[in-house]
């Protein structure tokens, strides 16, 4: 990928993320606090673990792209973490990190980065990987909202709980 292509991709992905970010915050915030230990299945993570992972992974991806490397980090939900604190941290951290990305040089955006020996893609391509990762886990979380006793927010259109407003 050349630097011009990297800049084009950045602008395309930024628009996608600007749409997805408030949707993600809505889904995170729809988890009832008294149901944060809910699991759809015995093999599943708890709702709070998925919510924490979504919020922290987005911040980690953005920090990594900005730094030009992907450090290995252990992830565990700190004791006393609330759904509200996850949403608050997501809203306070992720937009500010995204705001820094357009200041990266086109050359840095096009520079291949090693992702734990699994991938070696241009830095900007990891922004798409991040979006896919978030959407995947957001879907896992959204699938459990009704069984948790919550309402499913509008994601890509109306839901039975939040109809599309025209």
pLDDT at 139: 96
pLDDT digits (tens, 9 = 90+) for 106-149: 999 999 999 999 999 999 999 999 999 999 999 999 999 999 99
Count: domains in the chain: 1
Is residue 155 included in any domain, yes or no? no
Is residue 111 included in any domain, yes or no? yes
pLDDT band at 166 (very low <50, low <70, confident <90, very high): confident
pLDDT digits (tens, 9 = 90+) for 31-87: 999 999 999 999 999 999 999 999 999 999 999 999 999 999 888 999 999 999 999
Q: Are 110 and 124 in contact, with CB atoms under 8 Å apart?
A: yes
Look at residues 156, 32, 138, 39 and name the one whose alpha carbon lies nearest to residue 90. 138
pLDDT digits (tens, 9 = 90+) for 88-109: 999 999 999 999 999 999 999 9
- Indicate the Cα dihedral angle 27, 30, 33, 35, nearest 10°: -90
Is residue 156 included in any domain, yes or no? no
Measured between alpha carbons, how far is 145 from 142 in angstroms, rounded to an integer?
5
Is residue 8 included in any domain, yes or no? yes
Is residue 90 included in any domain, yes or no? yes
Is residue 165 included in any domain, yes or no? no
Q: Does an H or E element contain 22, and which?
A: helix 3-29
Is residue 150 included in any domain, yes or no? no
CATH code for the domain in which residue 53 is found: 1.20.120.450
pLDDT at 164: 87
pLDDT at 74: 85
pLDDT at 107: 98
pLDDT band at 5 (very low <50, low <70, confident <90, very high): very high
Which residues have C-beta within 8 Å of that of residue 132, sequence separation ≥ 6?
none
Is residue 32 included in any domain, yes or no? yes
**Domain span at residue 112?**
3-143
pLDDT at 165: 83
């Amino acid at each position: 990928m050349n630097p011009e292509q990297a800049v084009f991709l950045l602008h395309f992905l930024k628009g996608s993320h600007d749409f997805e970010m408030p949707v993600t915050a809505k889904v995170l915030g729809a988890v009832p606090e008294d149901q944060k230990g809910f699991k759809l299945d015995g093999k599943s993570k708890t709702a709070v673990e998925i919510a924490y992972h979504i919020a922290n992974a987005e911040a980690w991806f953005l920090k990594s792209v900005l730094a030009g490397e992907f450090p290995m980090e252990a992830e565990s939900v700190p004791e006393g973490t609330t759904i509200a604190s996850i949403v608050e941290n997501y809203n306070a951290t992720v937009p500010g990190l995204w705001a820094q990305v357009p200041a990266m040089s086109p050359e840095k955006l096009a520079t291949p980065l090693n992702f734990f020996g699994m991938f070696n893609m241009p830095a900007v391509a990891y922004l798409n990987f991040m979006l896919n990762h978030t959407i995947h886990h957001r879907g896992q979380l959204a699938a459990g909202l009704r069984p948790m006793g919550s309402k499913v927010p509008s994601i890509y259109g109306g839901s039975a709980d939040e109809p599309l407003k025209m």
